[in-house]
């Protein structure tokens, strides 16, 4: 009986020692990065804020209180102290406007112009092909990318006079590359009823979030910011099934051309 008890005791001690050894030999992988010292928002309803975050590679391996952080901190771990600042998750969003691409091919493409004069020349060429009264639309101009600035600028933008001079019988509306502004000629503003006397009333009617830029005398310069674009856009003819079809075909062709170009460059590089 004594031998059996002794054997049982030895087995128990061996088992305990084995578990202890396994626990002691368990490898802890320190995190590459630890962030702490501020309020960290998780966008997790059950645990909306934490005291620290540990990151390995591109994966968050820990989000919790400071007490559970020790096992993630090693000699090579980078530690960022927020010093009381707030940290929130970041979101990277990318998207494309496929039909916008098609219509940029169908209408005036102003992506590459380097001056106001070049914009005017493109409109002048379009006017020569258009019927009187036909709208001329385009997009993707950006004054900050112009190598030559207009002589007269108000609030950082050009004024309509030069544009209006080459398009007296055709309304013109050209969208900014950001989509947050549009540039109209005198004919377009005449159709929309935008003039020195109407600017104040129109501004009140559209409410906050829009601006008709005016010069020192109160005359509209042709630049319509944000919601103010609607004053002109509502007079631009809507897209038809036919123009949508053409825009779609042009967008597909443009994307195919880009892919073929990239593939060709890749092949040439490998050679």
Report which of residues 26 and 202 the model is more confident about: 202
Q: CATH 3.10.310.70 in the chain, residues? A: 98-246
Q: What is the pLDDT of residue 72?
A: 94
- With cut-offs at 50, 70 and 90, classify the pLDDT of residue 28: low
pLDDT for 13:
56
Tell me: the pLDDT tens digits for 193-232? 999 888 887 877 776 789 999 999 999 999 999 999 999 9
Q: Residues 233-251: what's their mean pLDDT?
A: 88
Report residue 45 as tokens. Answer: 């309803």
The per-residue pLDDT for range 88-125, each reduced to its tens digit, is 988 777 777 778 778 767 789 999 999 999 999 999 99
Query: How far is it, in rounded angstroms, from Cα 133 to Cα 135?
Result: 6
- For residue 266, the model assigns a pLDDT of 42
Q: Return the closest-CA partner of residue 237 out of 164, 135, 140.
A: 135
For the residues 174-180, what does the mean pLDDT come to? Answer: 95
Q: How much is the pLDDT for 100?
A: 76
Q: Model-level pTM?
A: 0.57
CA 250/CA 227 separation, integer angstroms: 29
Task: State both tokens at 174.
Answer: 């050209």
**pLDDT (0 to 100) of residue 209:** 84
pLDDT score of 7 more than 70 = no
- CB distance 205 to 159 below 8 Å: no
Cβ atoms of 119 and 141 closer than 8 Å: yes
Beta bridge partners, 181, equal 225
- The answer to whether the CB of 101 falls within 8 A of the CB of 256 is no
What does R_g of the chain's alpha carbons equal in angstroms?
A: 33
Q: What is the pLDDT of residue 263?
A: 40
Mean pLDDT, residues 142-157 taken together: 95
- Is pLDDT at 141 greater than 80 in this prediction? yes
Question: Looking at domain 98-246, does it have CATH number 3.40.50.620?
Answer: no
Q: How confident is the model at residue 271 (pLDDT cuts 50, 70, 90)?
A: very low
Residues 6+ apart with CB under 8 A from 73: 30, 31, 34, 54, 79
Q: Which residue intervals of the chain bear CATH 2.30.40.10? A: 29-94
Residue 264 has pLDDT above 50, yes or no: no
Helical pair 241-270 and 98-106, crossing angle rounded to 10 deg: 100
User: Which pLDDT score is estimated for 4?
Assistant: 54
pLDDT recorded at residue 259: 57
pLDDT at 256: 79
- Which one has a higher pLDDT value, 124 or 266? 124
Least confident range from 11-25, 77-91, 123-137, 177-191: namely 11-25
Do residues 137 and 173 lie in contact, with contact meaning Cβ atoms separated by under 8 Å? Answer: yes
Q: Is the separation of the CB atoms in 112 and 140 below 8 Å?
A: no
Q: Which two tokens stand for residue 53?
A: 């975050």
Encode pLDDT of 32-54 as tens digits.
Answer: 999 999 999 998 888 899 999 99
**Which of 3.40.50.1820, 3.30.1380.10, 2.30.40.10, 3.40.50.720 is the CATH number of 29-94?**
2.30.40.10
């Amino acid at each position: 009986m004594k031998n059996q008890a002794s054997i049982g005791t030895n087995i128990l001690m061996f088992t305990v020692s084995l578990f202890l050894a396994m626990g002691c030999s368990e490898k802890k992988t320190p995190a590459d990065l630890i962030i702490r010292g501020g309020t960290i928002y998780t966008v997790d309803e059950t645990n909306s804020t934490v005291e620290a975050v540990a990151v390995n590679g591109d994966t968050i391996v820990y989000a919790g209180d400071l007490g559970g952080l020790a096992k993630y901190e090693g000699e090579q771990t980078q530690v960022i102290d927020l010093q009381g600042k707030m940290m929130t998750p970041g979101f990277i969003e990318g998207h494309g406007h496929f039909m916008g691409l098609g219509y940029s091919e169908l209408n005036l493409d102003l992506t590459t112009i380097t001056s106001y004069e070049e914009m005017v020349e493109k409109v002048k060429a379009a006017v020569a092909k258009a019927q009187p009264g036909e709208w001329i639309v385009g997009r993707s101009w950006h004054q900050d990318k112009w190598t030559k600035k207009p002589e007269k600028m108000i609030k950082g933008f050009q004024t309509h006079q030069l544009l209006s001079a080459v398009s007296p019988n055709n309304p013109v509306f050209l969208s900014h590359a950001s989509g947050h502004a549009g540039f109209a000629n005198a004919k377009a503003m005449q159709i929309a009823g935008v003039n020195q006397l109407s600017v104040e009333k129109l501004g009140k009617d559209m409410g906050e979030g829009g601006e008709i830029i005016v010069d020192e005398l109160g005359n509209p310069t042709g630049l319509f910011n944000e919601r103010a674009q609607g004053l002109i856009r509502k007079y631009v003819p809507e897209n038809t099934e036919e123009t949508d079809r053409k825009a779609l075909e042009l967008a597909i062709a443009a994307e195919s051309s880009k892919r073929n170009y990239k593939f060709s460059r890749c092949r040439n590089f490998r050679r």
